[in-house]
Amino acid sequence: MNPAVLQLPDLYRPIEADLARVVAIMDQELQSELPFVAQLCERVRGYRGKMLRPALLLLSGQSVAGVQSVLGGPAAGGVTSEHHTLAAVVELVHLATLVHDDVLDQAEERRRQATISSTNGNEAAVMLGDYLISHAFHLCSSLDSQSASRLVGHTTNVVCEGELMQIHSRGHFKLSEPDYIEIIRRKTAALTAACCRLGATHAGADETLASRLEVFGESAGIAFQIVDDILDVVGEQKKMGKTLGRDLELGKMTLPVIHYLREAPTDKQEAMLKKLASAEHDDRAHVAQQLTEFGSVAYATSVAEQHVSRAISMLEGLPESASRSSLLSMAEFIIQREN
């Protein structure tokens, strides 16, 4: 396969019908008789982007079903209506974090449209995020068992802790690489890990297999966030469709910067520190050039690649299947994406 042509719609083929069902469940859950609320929810529909988390959940469920048939479990399928509901739940959680992230980052643009915080004010954005998280839990509680609610609740606890750690570390230019990884493990990878675990367990996977898929999701999530952070510095705003450079402006430390401030010659380090502290917002291009030329972007990319490799190694126990191939390609997609 030529990695340059990886396209999400191709990877999603095994779960195309399932994803349509997930979207329908989300739309149904977010219906409101109140015109203003309905209008905001309509805006949120535009936030739906790659549907990575539902896809991870559904593909994990499908990929595991094959194993079960080998062991004498259900012969095929594996993705149930519970998976559809859970996939809608994790996407609602994700949308809630996007809406609140835009408040935190004072972002103007998301998915090529103006953010809700910028057009309707922070108050509406805060409350809309709350509304989305509330609906996520409400929808999750429609399942028979509490186990998913428990895992989702635990996961959102961890996500919030990650966000709080990140807020607390803003402007701490000496943040270590392990602390950075711990922050993104919580704020991003905890949810992707939960997606894969939920998909697997609800398809009847045993604990060993569920754990492997959870690690797949976690490693993929860490890699995804590293790449996201790299793109915030060196990405093209037009391709990304969202406000870039916010990490630098807000004193949010990212891996290329951490590498540079650790490895560059002292005079370069000091010049960079001065730039970061001075909030010279229009200097993203210059910072990007420095980080690229010194090899800090390449270093961060290599760390992301290691996490992708780890993710892919977790798929080894799974039988060949279209869903397994898609999971593998999704992990590879993380490194290649430009938006």
Question: Which residue ranges make up the site for a second copy (CB under 8 A)?
Answer: 32, 34, 36-37, 40, 96, 100, 103-104, 121-124, 126-131, 133-135, 137-146, 149-150, 152-154, 156-157, 159-161, 163-165, 167-168
Name which of 96 and 227 has its Cβ closer to a second copy: 96
Name which of 17 and 164 has its Cβ closer to a second copy: 164
Handedness of CA 9, 10, 12, 14 (dihedral sign): positive
**Other Cβ atoms within 10 Å of 112 Cβ, number:** 12
| C-beta separation of 294 from 36 below 8 A | no
Q: How far is the CB of 154 from a second copy (least distance, A)?
A: 6
Q: How far is the CB of 304 from a second copy (least distance, A)?
A: 25
Name which of 29 and 228 has its Cβ closer to a second copy: 29
Name which of 184 and 304 has its Cβ closer to a second copy: 184
Nearest-angstrom CA–CA distance, 15 and 55: 7
Nearest-angstrom CA–CA distance, 148 and 140: 7
Q: How far is the CB of 279 from a second copy (least distance, A)?
A: 16
Nearest-angstrom CA–CA distance, 78 and 229: 35
Q: How far is the CB of 159 from a second copy (least distance, A)?
A: 8
Which segments of the chain does DSSP mark as H helices, in order? 8-11, 16-29, 35-45, 52-70, 81-105, 116-140, 147-169, 177-184, 190-201, 207-234, 237-240, 246-249, 255-263, 266-278, 284-294, 296-313, 322-336
Q: How far is the CB of 180 from a second copy (least distance, A)?
A: 15
Name which of 96 and 223 has its Cβ closer to a second copy: 96
